[in-house]
Chains A and B, each alone.
Chain A
């Protein structure tokens, strides 16, 4: 107990400049921080946005058509693309973390390969579902 409470003050270098330009994350680090960012984006605004569209599209035939033409707007399509990427990345990275929890692929070379796989597969899935959307 006493060793835990006697905390040493350590120097920190977490300026915005350091975060943006000086700290170089390894690939598994990118997968991890993107998992956080995508998760936060999915909670807000994407969950609210999708609930709104689900609500309107199920409410009436006119609502369904309105959502359809809404989805044709370029800005909305870009937003949907970002949503699809966030969802696919969060899912793929999450599955990787589940495997890591089970001690699968925890050696460095395997962890690097799986993080490349997560980035590539989620981008490929985004391209696939994005193409379906268009």
Chain B
């Protein structure tokens, strides 16, 4: 298999994923903001019912997946730009992946407890 790691279009998939997940999260944010601002006052039953609905759980799961993917591309960009020693950069990248993986697991736990 021939794999070009330099030149045009390398990184295109990450670039595109970052933007598509951004749109997904923006849409979710607007919907949630409207629900929070325009709906009835948020009491525990209202809050609980909102996250008990199937569509809300799935939408929030998609948001979490989008966030983790988006945040990984962004974190990697930042680490590539500012952290030059390879060992330190790799360590921080692994820690970032562990953190984002933990967020994902936590989110699933919260949504389907």
Contacts and interface: CB of A to CB of B under 8 A. Distances in A.
Contacts of B96: 43
Contacts of A57: 44, 47
A47 B22 contact: no
A55 B106 contact: yes
A116 B67 CA distance: 26
A91 B26 CA distance: 7
B110 A40 contact: no
30 contacts: A36-B78, A39-B71, A39-B74, A40-B78, A43-B96, A43-B100, A47-B103, A48-B99, A48-B103, A51-B103, A51-B106, A51-B110, A54-B110, A55-B109, A57-B47, A58-B47, A58-B48, A58-B51, A58-B110, A59-B113, A61-B44, A64-B44, A64-B48, A91-B26, A91-B29, A94-B26, A95-B26, A98-B19, A98-B23, A101-B19
A54 B57 CA distance: 13
Q: Is the interface of A mostly helix, strand, loop or mixed?
A: helix
B75 interface: yes
Interface in B18-33: 19, 22-23, 26, 29, 33
Contacts of B33: 129
B96 to A, nearest CB: 8
B62 interface: no
A43 B75 CA distance: 8
Nearest to A91: B26
B51 A94 contact: no
B107 A51 contact: yes
Which of A39, A43, A64, A132 has most chain B Cβ within 10 Å?
A43
Contact of B74 (A43, A98, A132): A43
B67 A98 contact: no
A44 interface: yes
B80 to A, nearest CB: 12
Nearest to B82: A36
B5 interface: no
Nearest to A54: B110
B1 interface: no
Contacts of A65: 44
B37 interface: yes
Nearest to A56: B110
Given A43-B75, A51-B103, A58-B110, A94 B22 contact: yes
